[in-house]
Chains A and B, each alone.
Chain A
Amino acid sequence: MTTLTDPPKEHFRLSMLLYDTRYRSATIQVIALIGFMLLAAWIISNTIQNLEALGKPVEFGFFAEPASYDINQRLLEYTSRDSHLRAAFIGLLNTLVVAVLGCITATVVGVLVGVLRLSNNWLVARIMTVYVEMFRNVPVLLWIVLAMAILIESLPAPRAFRGEDATASMNLFDSVAVTNRGVYIPEFLFSRSLGDIHLFGTSSIRFDISLDLIAVLIVLGGSIFAMRKVSAWAAAKQEATGDRPTIWYINLGILIVPMLILLTILGFHLGYPELKGFNFSGGTHMRNSLIALWLALSLYTAAFIAEIVRAGILAISKGQTEAASALGLRPGRTMRLVILPQALRVIIPPMISNYLNLTKNSSLAIAVGYMDITGTLGGITMNQTGRELECVLLLMLVYLTISLSISAVMNWYNNRVKLVER
C-alpha cells in the first residue's frame, strides 16, 4: 500500500516577490508603474507650481472672453465679438473640412496611381513612379508653400477681370472665377427655402442645419431605396425566368424625377459670382489657402497610399489572376472583382495611419494662413491670451479625439471587409 503525501504547503514569503519567477515580472512591473506615476506627478506638480509662481494659474475662464479677431473662412456664423471657444470651434470645423476633403482626394488619387503603377504600359507606369517618388520624398510643408506660391503668383487678381480691356475672364459660361484669392464657384440657392433649424441656442457650438438640405437628403435616400427594390425585383425575375428586364431607365427616372420636383418646389437656382468692388461676391469662395493645403496634402498622402495599394495588389498571388482569366473575366473585372477585394485586407490597416497623418499634417495650415484649429486656438487665441498650457493641452485633446475617431471608423470598416475565415 502506498501512501500519498501532500506536497508541503508553501507559505508566501516576501522574498518570493523577487526570487520566484511566478511573481518576479509582476513585481518589476508594479515598481516601474509606481516610478512612472511619480515622474508624471512630479512633472505635473512642477508645471502647476511654476505657473503659479509666474502668476499664471491654469484656468479656462478666458474661453468665454470675446475673441476680438476675425476668421475669413467660417462655415458657421461668427463675428469678432464671439468667444474664444466659438473661434476654436470654427477652427475645428475648418480642420475637419480640409481633412475630409484631403482623405477623399488622397484615396481616389492614391488608388488610381497605385493601380497604374503596375500597368503594363511602360510610360504610364514610369510617370506614376516619378510622381510617387517626387511627392513622398519632399516634406509636405514645401508642397503646401509651393502650391500657395503658384496660386498667388500665376493666377490673375480680381482687378484683372474689371473694365473694358480686362486681361482675365471667367470660365465655364461666366460661372467660375479663378483668381489669386481663390476660386469662386456658383452656389446653390433656394428661393422658397424651408429655413434652418437652430441647434444649441446661443452657446459656442450653436449651428444651423438647413431644412432644404435635409429634404434633399431624404428624397435622395428614398430614391436610392426604391432603386434597390427595383434591382432586387429584376434579379428575382432573372433567377426565375432567365430574362433580365431592362431597368436602367426606370432607375434613372426614380433618381431624377422626384429630385426635380423637389428642387422646383424649393425654387432651386444657382448664385453666380459677380465682380463687385474689390472682390467677387456671390457664389462660394474657395480660398486659395484651402485649395493649396487640400491639394498639397492630398497629393502628398496619395503618394503613400499608392505604394500601399501597390503592395496590397502584389500581395495577391498570381494564381488568382490566372484563375480569373481562366473563368473568362476581363482584366478590368479581374482587378475589381477578384484582386482588390482581397487586397483590401492588406491595404486598410496602413491606410488608417495615412489618414491620421493627413489630418495631423493639416496643422501646417498656418503656413498659408488657413485658419484651422491650430491657427485659431493654438495661434491667435494662445497669442492674445497668453494661455499657452491650456491652449496646447486642449489642442492635443482635440487632435487625439479626431485621430481616435478616424481609427475607430476605419477599424470598423476593416473588420467588415476582412476575409471571413471558416
Chain B
Amino acid sequence: MKKSVILGVATIAGLAAGAAVAGTVDDVKARGKLNCGVTTGLVGFAAPDANGEWQGFDVSVCRAVAAAVLGDANAVEFVPTTGKTRFTALASGEIDMLARNTTWTFSRDVDLKFEFTGVNYYDGQGFMVPKALGVSSAKELDGATVCIQTGTTTELNLADFFRSNNISYEPVPIETNAEAQQQYLAGACDVYTTDASGLAATRATFENPGDHVLLPEIISKEPLGPLVRHGDHEWGDVVRWTLNALIAAEELGVTSANIEEMSAGTDNPEVNRLLGSEGTLGEMLGLDATWAQRAIKSGGNYGEIFAKNIGEETPIGLARGLNAQWTDGGLLYAPPFR
C-alpha cells in the first residue's frame, strides 16, 4: 500500500512537472502534431464521421491551429475527453489545447490556471423533454428526473435553478453525451439538460427528432471557447489569434473560395495584413507570413465552419443568433489585425 501511495504521488509530480514546462509552440513543431482535446462525440461539434475522420465545429478550430502552426490541417491528434477528464488532460500536458464546448468561467480561468483564448460559440443551458410529457416550461419540472453530464458547469446551474425556483428534482449523473442519450431515450430520465447547442446536436441524431422539444428557458450564460494552459503566453496568442483570424475573415469577406485571389493583395490593408501580403504579423506570432491563410483554408472562415457543421442547413439546424458578427447584431467581434 505504501508503494502505491508513492507511485501515486510520483505520477502527480510527473503531471505537475509536465505542466510547468513552457514553449508549447516549439513542442508542437518538434512533434509535428497538435494534440487537441475534444468531446467523446457530439455530432456537429466533434465526432468521427463514417471514415473515422473527426469532423465538427470544435474540430475545425483544432485543424485551423494545426494548419497555422504546422502547415497541415490534418496533423492533429484528437484526444477524446469527458467533462471530468478534460482539465486534467490539459493541465498535465497530455493535450496542447482543449476545444470542447468548455464554458469560460472565472474560476476555471483564474483558479484552475487555464487561459481561455476567446469564444467560438455563445451558448446557454437548456432543457430537452419528450413532447409526450406535455411540459412547456422548465418551471413545471417539479419532481422530474434530470440527466446531467457530471463535472460540468451545467451541473451547478441546474442545482441553482431548481433551488432558486423552489422545486425538487432527481439528478442522474452521467459521464458522456452518448450515455445521456441512452438513458434519456429509454425514459430513465424525463429531462436532458446541457448547453442548448449540444441539445440540438443530440436531438438531430435521434430517430424521431420531432418527438422532443427544447424548453424556452435558457438558464445560464455559457460562452464556449478553446483554452490552453496558463503561463504559456506565446502559445495562448497563437490559438487566440487563429480563432480571431477565422472570425475576422468572415467579417472582411475572406472565404475559402476567394482566399487565393485575395492573398495576392487587395485594396483593404487589414485583409492584406491578415493574409500576410503586408506587414509582419505572422513573424510577431513566431510563425510565417501565411499562417492565417492556411488556417482559413483549412475549413473556411468562421461563418463557413458554422454553416457546414451546425448551421441551419445541417440536421442540427442552429441559427446564428448571438453568434452572428457584431455587424449583424451578434456578439462576434474580432479585435483588429494591426
Contacts from A to B (Cβ < 8 Å): 40, 43-44, 46-47, 50-51, 53-56, 68-72, 79-81, 149, 152-153, 157-160, 180-181, 276-279, 281, 288-289, 366-367, 369, 371, 375, 379-380, 383-386, 388-389, 392-393, 396, 400, 403
Tell me which of B1, B145, B158, B173 has the highest count of chain A C-beta atoms within 10 A of its own C-beta. Answer: B173
B163 touches A80 (CB 8 A): yes
B19 interface contact, C-beta 8 A: yes
Chain B nearest CB from A12 CB (Å) reads 33
Q: Note all chain A residues with C-beta closer than 8 A to B231.
A: 54
Name which residue of chain A comes closest to B10, CB basis.
Answer: A43
Set of chain A residues within 8 Å of B145, measured between Cβ atoms: 181, 278-279
Q: Which residues of B contact A375 (CB under 8 A)?
A: 150, 173
A367-B175 in contact (CB<8A)? yes
Q: Which chain B residues border A51 with CB–CB below 8 Å?
A: 16
Report chain A residues within 8 Å CB of B170.
72, 181, 279
CB distance from A87 to the nearest CB of B (A): 11
Q: Are B9 and A276 in contact (CB under 8 A)?
A: no
Residues of A within 8 A of B186 (CB): 152-153, 157, 180
* Complex: A68 Cα to B220 Cα, angstroms: 15
Query: Which B residues touch A149, using CB under 8 A?
Result: 182
Q: How far is the CB of A381 from chain B (nearest CB, A)?
A: 10
B182 touches A386 (CB 8 A): no
Task: Tell me which of A279, A396, A400 contacts B144 (CB under 8 A).
Answer: A279
Contact A371 B173 (CB under 8 A): yes
Task: Give the residue of A50, A152, A383 whose beta carbon is less than 8 angstroms from that of B20.
Answer: A50
How far is it, in angstroms, between the C-alpha of A386 and the C-alpha of B86 when the chains are bound?
11
Q: B257 at interface (Cβ–Cβ under 8 A)?
A: no
Residue in contact with B6 in the complex, picked from A43, A56, A81, CB distance below 8 Å? A43
Q: Is the CB of B182 within 8 A of A152?
A: yes
Contact yes or no, A180 B187, CB < 8 A: yes
CB < 8 Å neighbour of B112 from A46, A47, A72, A386: A386
B217 at the interface (CB under 8 A from A): no
Residue B113 contacts which of A54, A71, A276, A385 (CB distance < 8 angstroms)? A54
Contacts of B162 in A (CB 8 A): 70
List the A residue with the shortest CB-CB distance to B18: A50
Q: Which 7 A/B pairs are nearest by Cβ-Cβ distance?
A: A157-B187, A50-B16, A386-B112, A80-B159, A383-B151, A47-B13, A277-B143
Q: Using Cβ atoms and an 8 Å threshold, which residues of chain A touch B163? A: 79-81
Q: Which residues of B contact A71 (CB under 8 A)?
A: 171
Interface residue from B20, B111, B132, B175 paired with A366 (Cβ < 8 Å): B175
CA A149 to CA B141, docked complex, whole Å: 25
Cross-chain contact A152 with B87 (CB below 8 angstroms): no
B132 cross-chain contacts in A, Cβ below 8 A? 159
Known: A157-B187, A157-B188, A400-B1. A388 touches B173 (CB 8 A): no
